[in-house]
Amino acid sequence: MTVRELSELRRIVDGAIFLPEDLGYDEVRRVWNADVDRRPLFVARPDTVGDVVAVVEFSARRGIPLAVRGGGHSHAGFGTADDAAVLDLRSLSGVRVDPVNREMVAGGGAVWGAVDAATQAHHLAVTGADAPQVGVGGALLGGGFGWLHRLAGLTCDSLLEADVVTANGDLVTASPEQEPELFWALRGGGGNFGVVTRTRFRLHPVRELVGGTLLYPWGRGRSVLTRYQELCDSAPDELALRVTLTTAPTAGHIPAELRGQPAISVGMAAFGPPGRLETLKREFRMCGPAAVDTVRPLTYAQLQQPPYRQPGRLRADGHSSFFARLDEQTIDVLLAVAEGAPSPQTMLQVQHLGGAISRLGAADTAFSFRHATHLVACNVLAVRDATSIPLRSWTMAAARVVRRHELGGPYVNFVNGGEPAEELRAAYAPVTYRRLAQIKADYDPDNLFRFNVNIAVS
């Protein structure tokens, strides 16, 4: 970029602009995944929607691709890119709740921690990621799973409208009535279509709940997964279950013989009075006594702070896919994959889907796996300085094995960015992909927004 172009950028944008020679550039080019080390041309932190429009127009005019960053938590590091412009939306992160109409308005850079705090103050909530720094924008655009998804659907299922700055710099509102095709695409189609600067969501009442984790030694894996599947077969919408194959933490409340050892945890939440979960816990007794049992009455905000999650930046890679009912053979495959994990932070997680997710039709939103029973995420994570641990080779091996048993995938929000194009295409049903390609051609024909599960212009 020339000095003249640079001074024009600084003149038209009120927010901060960071260039490679600026103090702070190394900080702002970073994203959550510590394996991502990219050098953008500049990082802009818009103060206003007008700033967003200015950066979009500036980049589009010069043919500079634009990476849009919400919470910066995609494994693929889509929120930063070499030789591109970065639009970091963190200053547009306000959250406002209307408790009377049970609605919320959030800025394009809002994160789930802020949303949960604001909505729970009124005993309301919307399905969202269970990590406070994850962006609402990214989660929404890929679909959005969370503890509430069986009761309230995906994050995108509660979207009422969104303001979007498109590639030509127009600010439009997408809703069922206005720009309906764009509104359809925003619900699962990823960040392909523009910069989402404001969202309005329907909220759901969430008051009483019981939740927590049962932790078992690794040897119980097969019987826990079998019981999990049996319970999923008849679970009401109010019940959310997930099983994680991982390494037990070394915290004081973990029995000494289990600390740092392979283990299997059953996360559960029952929305409603406590009695229901007591029954459920009894069901798991046939797997033997849990080494740790944290199940108790909780607030939704407490449920959203997972006890064993490591805060801060991590090295990350992953593979994800959607599954039908788990049979015996599939259970053995999942156990074998998890057993080979190269790092103690690795998690192979199986989440129960269905419920409200499955009650919308395949063509209602761009999200393509409403018929799936489980989401399986093989997330290989490692602390930042564990640079000798080969994450990608495990992910690729896991993908090769798991693929023979899956229904399809990947999940848009769990890609690692290294997948070949045809693999990413499988994130959508063919008919959905064709519709997305047409919408991409209408709203971003030059592919300004390409740091995502990129839809090829038709």
Ligand X SMILES: Cc1cc2nc3c(=O)[nH]c(=O)nc-3n(C[C@H](O)[C@H](O)[C@H](O)COP(=O)(O)OP(=O)(O)OC[C@H]3O[C@@H](n4cnc5c(N)ncnc54)[C@H](O)[C@@H]3O)c2cc1C
User: Which residues here bind ligand X, judged by CB under 6 A?
Assistant: 32, 68-74, 78-79, 89, 108, 129-131, 134-135, 137-139, 141-142, 144-146, 190-191, 195-196, 413, 451-452
Q: Which is nearer to ligand X, 93 or 229 (CB)?
A: 93
Q: 183 vs 218, which CB is nearer to ligand X?
A: 183
Closer CB to ligand X, 31 or 291, in the complex: 31
Distance between CA atoms of residues 127 and 140, nearest Å? 9
Cα–Cα distances in Å, from 74 out to 5, 18, 79, 298, 304? Answer: 30, 22, 7, 28, 18
Measured CA to CA, the distance from residue 413 to residue 367 in angstroms comes to 11
R_g over Cα of the chain: 22
* Beta carbons within 10 angstroms of residue 200's beta carbon: 18
CB of 92 to ligand X, least distance (A): 8
Cβ 217 to ligand X, closest distance in Å?
A: 25
Q: How far apart are CA 46 and CA 245, in angstroms?
A: 41
- Give residue number: closest CB to ligand X: 138
Our CB check for ligand X shows the closer of 209 and 291 to be 209
**Shortest CA distance to 64 belongs to which of 86, 38, 36?**
86
* Comparison of 111 and 258: residue with beta carbon closer to ligand X: 111
Give the shortest CB-52-to-ligand X separation in angstroms.
9
CB of 364 to ligand X, least distance (A): 18
- The rounded distance, in Å, linking the Cα atoms of 412 and 452 is 9
User: What is the closest distance, in whole angstroms, from the C-beta atom of residue 263 to ligand X in the complex?
Assistant: 19
Report the interhelical angle of 328-339 vs 221-234 (nearest 10°).
130
DSSP letters of 134-197?
SBHHHHHHH----TTHHHH--GGGGEEEEEEE-TTS-EEEESSSSSHHHHHHHTTSTT-S-EEE
55 SS3 class? helix
CB of 47 to ligand X, least distance (A): 15
By C-beta, is 54 or 89 nearer to ligand X?
89
